[in-house]
Chain A
Amino acid sequence: MAYQHTIRNKVYSFRDLKDVMAKATPFRTGDALAGICADSYEERVAAQMTLADIPLKNFLNEALVPYEDDEVTRLIIDSHDAAAFEPISHLTIGELRDWLLSDEADGKILEGLKWAITPEMTAAVSKLMRNQDLIAVAKKCAVITRFRNTIGLRGHFSTRLQPNHPTDDPKGIAASMIDGLLYGSGDAVIGINPATDSPAAVTNLLNLIDTLRLQFDIPTQSCVLSHVTTTIGLINSGAPVDLCFQSIAGTQKSNASFGIDLKILDEAYDATLSLNRGTVGNNVMYFETGQGSALSANAHHGIDQQTCEARAYAVARKYNPLLVNTVVGFIGPEYLYDGKQIIRAALEDHFCGKLLGLPMGVDVCYTNHAEADSDDMDNLLTLLGVAGCNFVMGIPGSDDIMLSYQSTSFHDALYLRKVLGLRPAPEFAAWLLKQGITDVQGKLAHTQNMSKLIEHLF
């Protein structure tokens, strides 16, 4: 249905719900590239005012991509919990924003609503929120997941150790892995982006991490970020797969461009669960997302990139993931131009994911052709720490020499833990202490016993 709003005798008309949402979105280059953003500052606020008055119920009746055409839409509609929705069913998007910020809406109540609120509703409400609103509400939502340790507890902050190497050289990867562990990184996962997706190469990398983990009894999990079909094959061949990784997006067509659908993910989830390798829990999936992927696959259906992203979270939460990582600044300036847009997008993604019950982490990152630098990343990292983000990346000196972009360093995570009083996952923190890597306060020890680690790997 069409919507409209009048400001000083000027009538702003919006074709349908996705048009209102696109035009209400804070400016970012990707929506301009798609030709769907507001034409003026006034039109943007008019769209936001329009959106504020739209009842939540409309989102259940007006699918942004038709139910018949898109399995992500079907997943969203079919998994909606009407009974849990009842208490908020009378609200508009604007009233939801005010209520989310009220003291009444505490973490427990929000947790009970995670299947009552659809991704599109979270996206819509986020467009009416300032950055501090996104932080304040996300902070209320603790999402805790477990495999060999416990991630997402209040007062804790984890990192994915990302020891990538351009040619997957085992010694090169091992050197970065040791560096990271000795800097207290790796409790979310030790996760490698492989240079090639060949099963043999991926198996070698899995074995490399797994033998280190077993030898030193490290309470963490490993992952080589190969395509889900590769991982299924590896599971069948007996490789030590802890977590199953996949990049996902918010429309069926964009997932098809990744070579996946829900059926393949179902199969991968079941296969990984069947290995039963977790010790304290069985969250076995690791998903990566990022605004702009649907547009870049020409599969956005005229929906703004942030709403497409929120729809990807519907896919993620079907599989009770251990980790969901929005790789926010990797895609480039044609989607998120500068530090301001990257920061805003990261806070939106973190908020939407948390409200939908996901263990959100953020790859706080930028490419060299974006208008961003390490100061912007420091700002974002700090904001995410305040917002209660579950994890970020840990990369030697911020410089990923395989993917050629800049993310957060091991030192960055230590900074955040220090200024906000955060600790790693408790099991991992105990291991760091036992190894003499940190002291009882969680600070890095001056003399570290690392000779055994090096002997093991070199």
Chain B
Amino acid sequence: MKDLSKKITDPWESLKEFTAARIAMGRVGSSIPLKQSLEFKLAHAHARDAVYSVLDVDGLLESIKTFGLPRLKLHSQAENRHQYLQRPDYGRLLDDASVLLINESAYPCDICIIIADGLSATAINENAIPLLDALLPLLRYKLSPICLAEQARVGLSDHIAHGLQAQLCIMLIGERPGLSSADSIGAYLTYNPQPGLTDEMRNCVSNIRPEGLPFDQAAQKIFYLVQEAFRLQLSGVNLKDNSGLLDG
């Protein structure tokens, strides 16, 4: 017992610069050392907490008010997180109160923007407002009320935007947390949204967060896709994201 620290480090630690993978972790016996084991647990804890995080409805509604647009608070048929995780079909349907609210608030418009918890309300709570700050000034279109949707899947956007008589829908939704990122927003664009569409009919801008795709760039990308969708009158696999080519 003369040396209580039996950790064996790996002599190839320098390779870590080439990848974010958890290489050269070292070992105790042949097992993962405690420090690395706890780091992994912490990353998983962040992801788990994000899955069970709750949308800060009041705070978000208050912030959205500053954009000077009407607001709607909506909910899917998934009553809680437990049900949401087991029944994605419920997360794609509106509850009765939301259907009524949408019918009362509908008017023909160009774009419907929906903010939805998805699998990480944390992502929305932290990053949705700065993203809207960057995006809304670009969108010189007639907008529907801004919607806040709880226990929502992407498919819910079809029901909302169709009900609100929008030509195009942008849903900003919390993405499934990874071990290295629990706060990513995905933006889903659907032209001519209506119930029953599948994901091939949408475009997605993914990994929107300060350490991923920054807000300004994300807003530019979304704006590019919006313009193209209106020009071509479609979205999905036939709408290619060539925005990067403009730079070159």
What residues of chain A have their CB less than 8 Å away from a CB belonging to chain B?
A: 29, 32-33, 163-166, 169, 171-176, 178-179, 182, 333-334, 337, 367-369, 373-374, 395-399, 401, 404, 406, 409, 411, 414-415, 418, 443-444, 446-448, 450, 454, 458
Contact = CB atoms under 8 A, between A and B. Distances in A.
B21 A165 contact: yes
A311 B242 CA distance: 42
27 contacts: A163-B21, A164-B21, A169-B18, A169-B19, A172-B21, A175-B15, A175-B16, A175-B19, A178-B12, A178-B23, A179-B21, A337-B85, A367-B176, A396-B23, A397-B22, A397-B23, A397-B25, A397-B32, A397-B40, A398-B40, A401-B20, A401-B178, A404-B178, A414-B30, A450-B11, A450-B12, A454-B12
B82 to A, nearest CB: 9
A179 B15 contact: yes
Given A334-B87, A369-B85, A454 B21 contact: no
B19 A172 contact: yes
A418 to B, nearest CB: 6
A89 to B, nearest CB: 41
B51 A179 contact: no
A387 to B, nearest CB: 22
Nearest to B32: A411
Interface of B: 8, 10-12, 15-16, 18-25, 27, 29-32, 36, 40-41, 43-44, 47-48, 50-51, 85-89, 119, 176-180
B89 A175 contact: no
Contacts of A398: 22, 40
Give the one of A29, A334, A444 with max B CB within 10 A: A334
A368 B12 contact: no
A96 B31 CA distance: 41
Contact of B12 (A179, A369, A373, A443): A179
A396 B21 contact: yes
A411 to B, nearest CB: 5
B21 A175 contact: yes
A152 B28 CA distance: 28
A174 B18 CA distance: 9
Nearest to A370: B85
Nearest to A166: B20
Nearest to B43: A399
Contact of A404 (B85, B88, B176): B176
Given A178-B23, A411-B31, 16 more contacts: A33-B86, A33-B87, A163-B21, A165-B19, A175-B19, A179-B10, A334-B86, A337-B85, A368-B44, A368-B176, A368-B178, A399-B43, A401-B20, A414-B30, A418-B30, A450-B12
Nearest to A405: B178
Given A368-B177, A411-B31, A418-B30, A373 B21 contact: no
Contacts of B50: 368
Nearest to B50: A368
A396 B51 contact: no
Nearest to B41: A374
B48 A368 contact: yes
A447 B11 CA distance: 9
A164 B22 CA distance: 11
A446 B19 CA distance: 24
Nearest to A417: B30
Contacts of B177: 368-369
A399 B24 CA distance: 13
Contacts of A179: 10, 12, 15, 21, 23-24
A173 B15 CA distance: 11
